[in-house]
Amino acid sequence: LCDEAAVRVLVEQAPAAVNWLIQHGVQFDRAQPDSSIHTTSASNAIHTTPDGLLLGREAAHSRWRVLHAGGDATGAEIERALMAALQKHPRIAVYEETYVNALLVYDGVCTGLEAIDKSGQPFTIEAKATVLANGGAGGLWLHTSNPAGATADGLALAWRAGAVLSDLEFMQFHPTVLAVNGGSHLVSEAVRGEGAFLRNHAGERFMPRYGSRAELEPRDVVARAILSEMLSEGTDCQYLDLRHLPAEKMHARFPTISAICRKYGLDLARDLLPVAPAAHYCMGGVMVDTYGRSTLPGLYAVGEVACTGVHGANRLASNSLLEGLVFGLRLADGLQTHPIDNDTPSIVGAIPCGRPETAPGRPEKWPGHLEKWPDIRSGRPEKWPDRHTITIPVPTNSLENVSTANAGPVSLSDIRREVRSVMWQYVSLCRDEEGLLEARRRVHALKQSLPAALDIEHGGAAHLAQWAETRNMLLMAELVIIAAMQRRESRGSHWRRDYETLDASLTGRHFAYVQETTVLTPENPRKEVIAHA
Question: pLDDT of 304-349, one tens digit each?
Answer: 999 999 999 999 888 999 999 999 999 999 998 877 754 544 555 5
Does residue 520 surpass a pLDDT of 90? no
Please tell me which residue, 342 or 224, carries the higher pLDDT value.
224
Q: How confident is the model at residue 364 (pLDDT cuts 50, 70, 90)?
A: very low
Beta bridge partners of 353: 103
Beta bridge partners of 394: 515
Average pLDDT of span 227-252: 96
- Could you tell me if 298 and 344 are in contact, meaning their C-beta atoms sit under 8 angstroms apart? yes
Which three-class secondary structure state does DSSP give residue 287?
Answer: strand
Question: pLDDT of 462-489, one tens digit each?
Answer: 788 889 999 999 999 999 999 999 999 9
Q: How confident is the model at residue 393 (pLDDT cuts 50, 70, 90)?
A: confident
Question: pLDDT of 286-313, one tens digit each?
Answer: 999 999 999 999 999 999 999 999 999 9
Q: Which of 417, 179, 150, 149 is nearest to 277 (CA)?
A: 179
Q: How confident is the model at residue 58 (pLDDT cuts 50, 70, 90)?
A: confident
Flag the least confident range among 60-64, 112-116, 124-128, 391-395.
Answer: 391-395
Does residue 357 surpass a pLDDT of 50? no
Q: How confident is the model at residue 528 (pLDDT cuts 50, 70, 90)?
A: very low
Look at residue 462 in the predicted model and tell me its pLDDT: 76
Look at residue 56 in the predicted model and tell me its pLDDT: 84
CA separation, residue 119 to residues 99, 404, 459 (Å)? 11, 25, 11
Look at residue 396 in the predicted model and tell me its pLDDT: 63
Q: Which of 265, 282, 283 is nearest to 274 (CA)?
A: 265
* 99-170+283-515 CATH: 3.50.50.60
**Length of the chain measured in residues:** 533
- Could you tell me if 330 and 13 are in contact, meaning their C-beta atoms sit under 8 angstroms apart? yes
Which helix (H) or strand (E) is 392 found in, with range? strand 388-394
Which three-class secondary structure state does DSSP give residue 81?
Answer: helix
> Can you spell out the DSSP letters for 159-217?
HHHT--EE-TT-EEEEEEEE-STT---B--HHHHHTT-EEE-TT--B-GGGT-TTGGGS
Question: For 22, what's the count of Cα atoms within 13 Å in the CB-facing half-sphere?
Answer: 13
Signed CA dihedral, 167, 169, 174, 177: sign only: positive
- Strands 509-515, 388-394: pairing is parallel
Which helix (H) or strand (E) is 514 found in, with range? strand 509-515
Q: What contacts 387, CB < 8 A, 6 or more positions away? A: 3, 309, 508, 510, 526
Signed CA dihedral, 318, 324, 325, 327: sign only: positive
- Could you tell me if 177 and 185 are in contact, meaning their C-beta atoms sit under 8 angstroms apart? yes
Which three-class secondary structure state does DSSP give residue 66?
Answer: strand
Look at residue 402 in the predicted model and tell me its pLDDT: 55
- CA 260-319-189 angle, to 5 degrees, is 35
Flag the least confident range among 23-27, 70-74, 378-382.
Answer: 378-382
- Could you tell me if 392 and 529 are in contact, meaning their C-beta atoms sit under 8 angstroms apart? yes
Return the DSSP state at 329: H
Look at residue 42 in the predicted model and tell me its pLDDT: 47
Does residue 203 surpass a pLDDT of 60? yes
Does residue 525 surpass a pLDDT of 50? no
Q: How confident is the model at residue 457 (pLDDT cuts 50, 70, 90)?
A: low
Q: How far apart are CA 287 and CA 392, in angstroms?
A: 13
- Could you tell me if 176 and 278 are in contact, meaning their C-beta atoms sit under 8 angstroms apart? no
Percent residues over pLDDT 90 in the chain: 65
Does residue 60 surpass a pLDDT of 50? yes
Please tell me which residue, 329 or 68, carries the higher pLDDT value.
329
Question: For 35, what's the count of Cα atoms within 13 Å in the CB-facing half-sphere?
Answer: 12
Look at residue 365 in the predicted model and tell me its pLDDT: 35
Please tell me which residue, 40 or 412, carries the higher pLDDT value.
412
Percent residues over pLDDT 70 in the chain: 81
Classify domain 176-278 at the CATH topology level: Flavocytochrome C3; Chain A, domain 1 (3.90.700)
- CA 498-499-503 angle, to 5 degrees, is 165
Q: How far apart are CA 261 and CA 265, in angstroms?
A: 6
Average pLDDT of span 263-271: 97
List the domain boundaries for the chain: 4-88, 99-170+283-515, 176-278
Average pLDDT of span 203-228: 95
| Strands (DSSP E) found in 283-387 | 285-287, 299-301, 306-307, 351-353
492: left (phi over 0), alpha (psi -120 to 50) or beta: left
Look at residue 245 in the predicted model and tell me its pLDDT: 97
Beta bridge partners of 300: 131, 293
Please tell me which residue, 449 or 419, carries the higher pLDDT value.
419
Does residue 374 surpass a pLDDT of 50? no
Q: How confident is the model at residue 387 (pLDDT cuts 50, 70, 90)?
A: low
Question: pLDDT of 124-168, one tens digit each?
Answer: 999 999 999 999 999 999 999 999 889 999 999 999 999 999 999
Q: How far apart are CA 107 and CA 226, in angstroms?
A: 50
Task: Tell me the residue type at 208.
Answer: P
Question: pLDDT of 160-184, one tens digit each?
Answer: 999 999 999 999 999 999 999 887 8
List the 273-282 sheet strands across, edge first.
171-178, 273-282, 238-241, 197-199
Please tell me which residue, 60 or 235, carries the higher pLDDT value.
235
Q: Give me the active site residues, please.
A: 219
Look at residue 398 in the predicted model and tell me its pLDDT: 59
Q: Which of 193, 190, 194, 224 is nearest to 207 (CA)?
A: 224
Write down the mean pLDDT value for the chain. 84
Does residue 523 surpass a pLDDT of 80? no
